[in-house]
Structure 1
């Protein structure tokens, strides 16, 4: 406990001068040095000063230990993704927040607060907290510096800055082999690699994270990691392993009543079945996913678009048209440019293939190329245009897009 800062805080809060507080205990200069942490005082002097301020020394030490316990508990609950317990734990810390600046845990508390705000998705508050911590980083211990950079990487991932986050995690792994062996760190390495469409690396780190979480019986994180692995196995065309991941996910998510996760699991299982050309099974899982989602959010839009694409591939024109029209309207409300462009293309294609392919070439492909992601979509569209120009006898244009494929 930083008793000098604590004494100064309560003395000024209660309107007591240094002379009044120190009278009969120590000199005013001596008290001034204690308050500014430039001189260590003996326990008896500290005890007398605190007693005059009506502060119980033993109670203060107990409060400091309570801070320590609550911080360790908060860290554990975030790692185990225990949403309700995280909030309860954090509110207990808020109740004794006024004491934390006088403890040895001031920076750890501010770092865990940053992690908590990221977990809650409070982006503006998290950004303010990041700025506050950045100003203090020169005072961090080695462990605190590691936590700041790690949490900063998670924050950057949350904001979609995956490459910068990946660079930070790579450096941390090189510098801190012990701390970076945790399940959480491995999970975030897998997540950022997945976001960068580096499926081989994502699978590698995901399998390591999964083993760690299984050893800890960290059931929610096991589900999250299985989802990552299933998605990346699908992307890598390793279908048997992907199916195994999603079957485990469906069974365990239903047992754990993870209603928020089930729509995503069903959607990704639908995508896997679509890639395996199992149209009936794909539609079954997509529709199960859609039935569990609210109608006005991004996930609903993505699943409905996938259903429209599936109907289009089966030449169910009216059904696909109905889906694409709804997605188009919703994409305007949600500001989802990608899906507005895609549905415009498909709706145009149903009316005029010539206009549709011009739109694909002039609007859709430039958007995807500039975004530098969605490689599966780009590959499919390059092939579409190559086939279209080949049928038209426009060989040079066809070869241009075939070259982009390779």
Structure 2
């Protein structure tokens, strides 16, 4: 406990001058030194000063222990993704926040507030906390500096700056191997690698995180990591492993009553089945996902669009047309240029393939390339154009789009 700062706080709160508090205990200059640096005093002097302020040493030590235990509980609750418990512990800490500056945990508390804001998705507030912490950084311990950099990487990730976030985590791993065997750290490494479309690395770190979460019985994080692994196994064409992940997810999410995860699980299982060319089964899972989603949002739009593509692949043109008409309307409502363009392409193509492919080549492809869409998505359209120009006997354009597929 930082006794000097504590003594100054309570002396000021009680309206005492330094002379009134020091009388009969120590000199005023000595008290001034104590208040600025408690190491200047011995335990007996500290005890007498606290006694005059009606604060017992036992109370001070109890406060320090309470802060320590609550911060540990707060961190554990975030690690286990226990949203209600995180909020409850945060409120307990807020109630004793006025005591934390006098403890050894002032910087840890400010760092954990940063982590809390990231956990809640409050990125603007997290950015402000980041700036506040940056000003204090010269006073951080090695561990506190590690946490600051780690949370900065998470903030950058949520801001879409994946490469910068990845570089920080790589550096932290090289410098602090003993601290980076934590399940959360490995999960975030896997997540960033996945966002960078480095599926092999994502699987590597994801498997490490999964083992730690399983050993800790951290069941929610096990589900999150299985989702991440399933997605990256799918992108790596490791279909059997992907299917195992998603089947585990469906079963355990239902057992744990984590209904909020089910739409995403069903969507990703549908995507896997589509890649395996099990189109009817893919439609089944996408349908289950759509039925559980609130309408009029982006996730609903994505699933509806994929259902339209599947109907198109199965030559169910009337169903496809209805889906793409709904996609077009919702995309305009939500301001999604990507899905408006995609729906427009399919609607044009069903009426006139030639006009549709012209629109795909001049409007859709340039937009997708500039937006740096996922390789699997854009490759699908390159193949469509290559096949179209093959039928047209246009060898130059066939080669052009086959080369684009190779680069992907």
What TM-score, normalized by structure 1, do the two folds share? 0.96
Give the CA deviation at 1:181: 1.0
Question: Larger deviation: 336-345 or 231-240?
Answer: 336-345
Corresponding position of 1:245: 245
Q: Which residue of 2 aligns with 1:367?
A: 367
Q: Does 1:226 align with 2:244?
A: no
2:325 aligned residue: 325
What aligned pairs does 1:284-295 form with structure 2 within 5 A after superposition? Answer: 284-295=284-295
Superposition map of 1:268-279 within 5 A = 268-279=268-279
How many angstroms apart in 2 are the aligned matches of 1:333 and 1:61?
59
Structure 1 residue 38, shift from structure 2 partner: 6.9
Return the offset for 1:337: 3.0
SS class of match (1:312): helix
Q: Give the CA deviation at 1:328.
A: 2.3
Match of 2:169 in 1: 169
Q: Name the residue aligned to 2:81.
A: 81
TM-score (norm. length: structure 2): 0.95
Please give the residue correspondences for 1:179-328 in structure 2 after superposition, counting only pairs within 5 Å. 179-328=179-328
- Partner-residue secondary structure (3-state), 1:180: coil
Please list every run of 5 or more consecutive structure 2 residues that lacks an aligned counterpart in the other structure: none
Higher mean C-alpha deviation, range 315-324 or range 355-364? 355-364
Q: Deviations over 1:262-302 (max 9, x none)?
A: 11111111111111111111111111111111112222121
**Deviation at 1:384?**
1.5
Shift of 1:159: 1.6
Distance 1:351 1:49 in 2: 88
> How big is the shift at 1:126?
0.9
Which shifted more, 382-391 or 203-212?
382-391
Task: Name 2:68's counterpart in structure 1.
Answer: 68
Looking at structure 1, the residues matched to 335 and 11 of structure 2 have their Cα atoms a distance apart, in angstroms, of 54
Moved more, 242-251 or 365-374: 365-374
Q: Tell me whether 252-261 or 380-389 shows the greater mean CA deviation.
A: 380-389
* Number of equivalences: 406
Counterpart of 1:354? 354
Using the alignment, how far apart are the partners of 2:193 and 2:48 within structure 1?
A: 58
1:10 CA drift (Å): 2.2
Deviation string, structure 1 residues 330-369 (Cα, Å, up to 9, x no partner): 2233333322222222222223333322322222222222
Deviation at 1:39, TM superposition (A): 5.1
Shift of 1:378: 1.4
Determine if the alignment matches structure 1 residue 115 to structure 2 residue 141.
no
CA drift of 1:57 comes to 2.5
Q: Which residue of 2 aligns with 1:28?
A: 28
Contact kept in structure 1, 2:296 and 2:330, CA below 8 Å? yes
Q: Which residue of 2 aligns with 1:344?
A: 344
Q: Give 1:87 deviation, angstroms.
A: 0.9
C-alpha RMSD over aligned residues = 1.5
In the TM superposition, residue 379 of structure 1 has moved relative to its aligned partner by 0.8
Unaligned runs of 5+ in 1: none
Pair 47,379 (structure 1): closer, same or farther in 2 beyond 3 Å: same
User: What SS does the aligned partner of 2:260 have?
Assistant: coil
**Superposed CA offset, 1:300-339 (max 9, x none):** 1211111111111112222222222222232233333322
Secondary structure class of the residue paired with 1:260? helix
Change (3 A) 1:9 1:380: same
List per-residue Cα deviations over 1:131-156 (Å, max 9, x = no partner). 11111111111111111111111111
In the TM superposition, residue 98 of structure 1 has moved relative to its aligned partner by 0.7
